[in-house]
């Protein structure tokens, strides 16, 4: 129950996430949670939706894969999702990840998906579709920076989705 958005425009990519952490369906536990992590010395960023501990465990596993397969983001992602789907322990983890570097953006799921969006704009979590639709509507506006697009799209999602707030964190790939 969150919103994570990735936007790719020109040679830049950014991941934005809201700060709301909920307990169950009715309690806001924290309003400034960071759901975005920098990996590989900032050359890769990952955002997560789902159970926090599960997502962090998956990001740690992704870091291990990136160390094993340096400069091979797609291979690291495929290896992670294979483990995630087949391993008895990992199979139960409930999260979805967006992972991006300068060249590629992927959505990773526990069902074995490693999906690359066609247009470089993708959202996950309860407000992901709202943020994604808003970003797609703004992406061709040359007067807006990638940061402005991501922030505005996340604000729109926060206005609509009760599990998304306006405490937006933005991380850009180096």
Question: Which positions are annotated as active-site residues?
Answer: 2
- Number of Cβ within 10 Å of residue 53's Cβ equals 11
Which of 94, 57, 63 is closest to 79 using CA atoms? 63
Retrieve residue 59's tokens.
Answer: 């990001």
User: Longest Cα pair distance anywhere in the chain, in angstroms?
Assistant: 49
Q: Can you list the positions of beta strands (E) in the chain?
A: 4-9, 12-17, 21-23, 27-30, 36-39, 44-50, 95-100, 105-109, 114-115, 121-124, 169-172
Query: For residue 6, is it left (φ>0), alpha (ψ between -120 and 50) or beta?
Result: beta
- CA 90, 49, 13, 172 dihedral sign is negative
- CA 128, 130, 131, 134 dihedral sign is positive
């Amino acid at each position: 129950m969150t919103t994570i958005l990735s936007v790719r425009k020109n040679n830049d990519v950014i991941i934005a996430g809201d700060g709301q952490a909920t307990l169950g369906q009715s309690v806001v536990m924290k309003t400034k949670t960071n759901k975005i992590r920098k990996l590989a010395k900032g050359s890769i960023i990952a955002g997560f939706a789902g159970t926090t501990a599960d997502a962090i465990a998956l990001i740690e596993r992704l870091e291990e894969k990136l160390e094993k397969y340096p400069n091979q983001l797609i291979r690291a992602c495929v290896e992670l999702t294979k483990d995630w789907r087949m391993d008895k322990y990992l199979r139960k983890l409930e999260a979805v990840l967006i992972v991006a570097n300068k060249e590629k953006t992927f959505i990773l799921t526990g069902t074995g998906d490693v999906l690359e969006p066609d247009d470089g704009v993708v959202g996950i979590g309860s407000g992901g579709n709202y943020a994604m639709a808003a970003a797609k509507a703004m992406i061709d506006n040359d007067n807006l920076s990638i940061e402005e697009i991501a922030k505005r799209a996340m604000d729109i999602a926060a206005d609509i989705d009760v599990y998304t707030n306006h405490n937006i964190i933005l991380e850009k790939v180096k």
